[in-house]
Amino acid sequence: MLNVNELESKWLRYKIKSYIPHAIIAVSTIIITLSVVTIYNLKPTVKVDVHADKNLQVSPTKTLPLVEQNTTIKEKSQQAIIANSNLAIIEKNKNPLQNSTPLAQSNEQKKDKIIMSPSLDFMVNMRTNIPAKYEIVTPAKDIQNIVIEEPIQENVLDLSEKAIDLESSQEDVSYESKKGSISINRQNTHDDIKYVIERFKKNNNPALSLFIAKKYYELGDYHKAYNYSLVTNEINHDIEASWLIFAKSLVKLNEKEMAIKTLTQYIDHSKSNRAQILLDEINAGKFK
């Protein structure tokens, strides 16, 4: 029997949830625009270039107080952002490398399912090498649940659409920030990743973790790229792009042997052309 009342409250929660991302985007756009404007104002030389000389004479006295105000606001908001992101990182990393053990165990249990996984030894090495803050905390339990419950394929499709949305929204922002400085651009990408990480924490969707891995790789954060592609492979071990990022990150982390081993295994199982090309490049020393 249909419980309409319960459904109504579920719907309400769903609506609220679906508005949160919009709210976040709106707020961060405002903050970014604000900081762009402030930085713009902070550079009088730029202003002189752009505007006519007349303005120069009139503006100083009038704009100065404004600028001051803006800066304080901006500073506060930036502090807030930094505080936030730190928090997120810390939270995220609470569960650091402990992960490797449950992951490995689950690998063994599902041996027929998950065809390859990085060797344990290597994970142990990583544990000692990498400061805790690089670790990701996706409890292995969650991963298993997802593997069993969700029809991953459909999900991937569905979410990659969303991921595309995200990318396009990022474009918007970076367009705005062209006017501003490079540092803002960066902040931006980090904010985006942060937002995607939040979403990934909620639904464990491999399309999201792959997106994060790619972004971190682009930013040169190969530890995180490694971690997120590893998580992606755990959830769905048939995503070619994820294996490629995984292997490339390994090379960047000076784990060439491991990268070659992993890629070889992956190619055995998938016959992936792109993986083969990458493997050849790594072997030939073309990819470093």
Partner 1 sequence: MKSSIYQSSKNVFLDTVNVEDYIQLDRVSTIYQSLKDSVRKPLKMILLFGKPGTGKSMFLTKLYHDLSSIQKVYIYRTPILDESEFYKVLAQDLFGIKYKGELNFTQFMRVVEEYETEETPLVLLDEAQLYSNSLMEKIRLLSDTRKVKFVITLHKTEKEDLIAKAHFQTRIWETIELENASSMELKIYIQKKLMKANCFDSANMFQNKSVNLIHKLTNGNYRDTNKLLYTLFDIYSYYDEQNNYTAINRNHISNKIIEMSAIHTGLVNA
| Side-chain half-sphere exposure of 96, counting CA atoms within 13 A | 18
| CB environment 206-215: b (16+ within 10 A), e (fewer) | bbbbbbbbbb
CA–CA dist 231, 258 (Å, integer): 17
Site string for partner 1, 224-263 (x = CB under 8 A): ----------------------------------------
Residue whose CB is less far from partner 1, 222 or 266: 266
**Residue length of the chain:** 288
Residue whose CB is less far from partner 1, 155 or 262: 155
Quote the least distance from Cβ 192 to partner 1, whole Å. 22
Quote the least distance from Cβ 14 to partner 1, whole Å. 4
- Residue 141 interacts with partner 1 (CB under 8 A)? no
Residue whose CB is less far from partner 1, 65 or 151: 151
- Residue 7 interacts with partner 1 (CB under 8 A)? yes
Q: Which of 86, 129, 203, 283 binds partner 1 (CB under 8 A)?
A: 203
Residue whose CB is less far from partner 1, 125 or 153: 153
Q: Which of 4, 52, 58, 284 binds partner 1 (CB under 8 A)?
A: 4
Token pair listed for 282: 């790594």
The contacts of residue 259 (CB under 8 Å, 6+ apart) are 247, 248, 250, 251, 282
Q: Which of the residues 9 through 38 are near partner 1 (CB under 8 A)?
A: 10-11, 13-15, 17
CA–CA dist 109, 106 (Å, integer): 5
Token pair listed for 7: 């459904």
Residue whose CB is less far from partner 1, 14 or 179: 14
- Residue 145 interacts with partner 1 (CB under 8 A)? no
Choices 7-15, 48-56, 77-85, 125-133 (CB under 8 A): range interacting with partner 1: 7-15
Residue whose CB is less far from partner 1, 18 or 168: 18
- Residue 133 interacts with partner 1 (CB under 8 A)? no
The contacts of residue 79 (CB under 8 Å, 6+ apart) are none
Residue whose CB is less far from partner 1, 11 or 30: 11
Three-class SS of residue 287? coil
Residue whose CB is less far from partner 1, 180 or 206: 206
Quote the least distance from Cβ 101 to partner 1, whole Å. 30
| DSSP notation for 12-40 | HHHHHHHHHHHHHHHHHHHHHHHHHHHHH
Tell me the CA distances in angstroms from 286 to 152, 223, 248, 278, 283, one per residue in order.
Answer: 35, 21, 12, 9, 8
CA–CA dist 284, 288 (Å, integer): 10
Quote the least distance from Cβ 253 to partner 1, whole Å. 32
Residues of the shown chain interacting with partner 1 in the complex, contacts defined by CB under 8 A: 2, 4, 7-8, 10-11, 13-15, 17, 153, 203
